[in-house]
Amino acid sequence: MKDEPERRYGKILLSYISDDHNGLDKEVEYFLLCGLNAKRSLLHQHKLKRDDIRIGVLSFSTNKCIPTYSSDKERGVFDFYCLSEEHNSKTFYVNGELVEA
């Protein structure tokens, strides 16, 4: 639709997600805002708030049921890419570029 904002796509790889969450969109919101605001800070742009973004989850899978490994080459395909590992280690890519958070 012509009045709709531009859509962007991302992938977030989490080492753990609770099974009693309040919605997958709410779970990934933190990672998205953290990564995007790190990039916006580098560009001297204002921080985004929850109301500034809309999230839709297209897919979810677990390593226990489905092999989810992808090569590092896929990072450049997504507008936003986050790898969250154990001990709160997070790596963000925005438009294929590594962003230090």
Coil, strand, or helix at residue 83? strand
Instruction: List Cβ neighbours of 43 (8 Å cut-off, separation of 6 or more).
Output: none
Distance (Å, whole) CA 64 – CA 46: 39
Strands of the 89-94 sheet, one edge to the other: 10-14, 80-85, 89-94, 97-99
Tokens of 34: 């953290």
- DSSP structural state of residue 84: E
Closest alpha carbon to 8 in 38, 53, 73: 53
Residue 78 pLDDT greater than 70, yes or no: yes
Quickly list DSSP for 51-79.
GG----------TTTS-----GGGGGGSS
Q: Kindly report the pTM of this predicted structure.
A: 0.81
| pLDDT, position 1 | 46
Question: Which residue did the predictor score with more confidence, 49 or 17?
Answer: 49
State the Cα–Cα distance between residues 68 and 66, nearest whole angstrom: 6
- Digit-coded pLDDT (tens) for 18-69: 778 888 888 889 889 999 999 999 999 999 999 999 999 888 776 666 666 7
| Residue 84 pLDDT grade (very low, low, confident, very high; cuts 50, 70, 90) | confident
